[in-house]
């Protein structure tokens, strides 16, 4: 297990279609995060899982977005009825954590670049 | 929420030059990390540095938490250092790893 894997790397879809992305975290990491990065900006937090529980969702995550992490392993991010404004890089990260807030091994995947036409 | 500002937004250097990137944050933090995003989009963790000073080869970083800033130093820059450098923090009182990123500094190193 060499890192965080994301699939697909690129996705082009027509407006109104549904898309689903997958993230496979580092196997021993119990925390998983999704971020979105638009051109020229830093990544923005979308949602966070500890094991299989989704513990926080950003206001950026509209009701067209849903994320799951069944069994606390891989995660999926689905966007329904895509809009051109959804075009962005979607990044997944995983980490271990501690009670003092120290983050161990915070690692990002290579991202999925979504283009909505 | 917490605000993170990075400067300068762009930096152009000749190979061999030194540089300093700055990150200011608006509130107390539990964590601060510096990342390098390469041209293929991969974010590489450079430093975990909520306070103090660390060095790794030609790179070093200093965070003065009481004054709410961090600095990333790059010495003897190489063309492979080109890319975007991000500072990211976890706001104080947050018990997990929700990172808030700055806008980044775009570094271009010419041969």
Band (pLDDT 50/70/90 cuts) for residue A96 is: confident
Write out the E strands in A1-117. Answer: 5-7, 10-13, 19-24, 31-37, 44-50, 53-57, 65-68, 75-79, 88-97, 103-108, 112-116
Q: CB-CB: which of A33, A91, A113 is closest to B97?
A: A33
Would you say residue A101 has pLDDT above 80? Answer: no
pLDDT tens, position by position, A59-91: 888 899 999 999 889 999 999 999 999 999 999
For residue B57, what pLDDT is reported?
97
**Record: contact A110-B42, CB cut-off 8 A:** yes
- pLDDT tens profile B10-38: 999 999 999 999 999 999 998 899 999 98
pLDDT at position A76 is: 98
């Amino acid at each position: 297990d060499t890192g965080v894997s994301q699939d697909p790397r690129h996705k082009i879809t027509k407006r109104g279609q549904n898309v689903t992305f997958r993230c496979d975290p580092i196997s021993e990491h119990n925390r998983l995060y999704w971020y979105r990065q638009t051109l020229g900006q830093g990544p923005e937090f979308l949602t966070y899982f500890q094991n299989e529980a989704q513990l926080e969702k950003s206001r950026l995550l509209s009701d067209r977005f849903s994320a799951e992490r069944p069994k606390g392993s891989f995660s999926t991010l689905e966007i329904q009825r895509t809009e051109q404004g959804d075009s962005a890089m979607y990044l997944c990260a995983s980490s271990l954590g501690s009670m003092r807030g120290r983050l161990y091994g915070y690692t990002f995947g290579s991202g999925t670049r979504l283009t909505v036409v | 929420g917490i605000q993170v500002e990075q400067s300068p937004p762009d930096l152009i250097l000749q190979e061999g030059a030194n540089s300093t990137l700055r990150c200011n944050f608006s509130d107390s933090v539990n964590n601060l990390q510096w990342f390098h995003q390469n041209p293929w989009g991969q974010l590489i963790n450079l430093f975990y540095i909520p306070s103090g000073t660390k060095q790794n080869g030609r790179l070093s970083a200093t965070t003065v938490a009481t004054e709410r800033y961090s600095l990333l130093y790059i010495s003897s820059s190489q063309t492979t250092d080109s890319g975007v450098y991000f500072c990211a923090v976890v706001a104080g009182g947050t018990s997990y790893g929700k990172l808030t990123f700055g806008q980044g500094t775009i570094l271009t190193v010419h041969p």
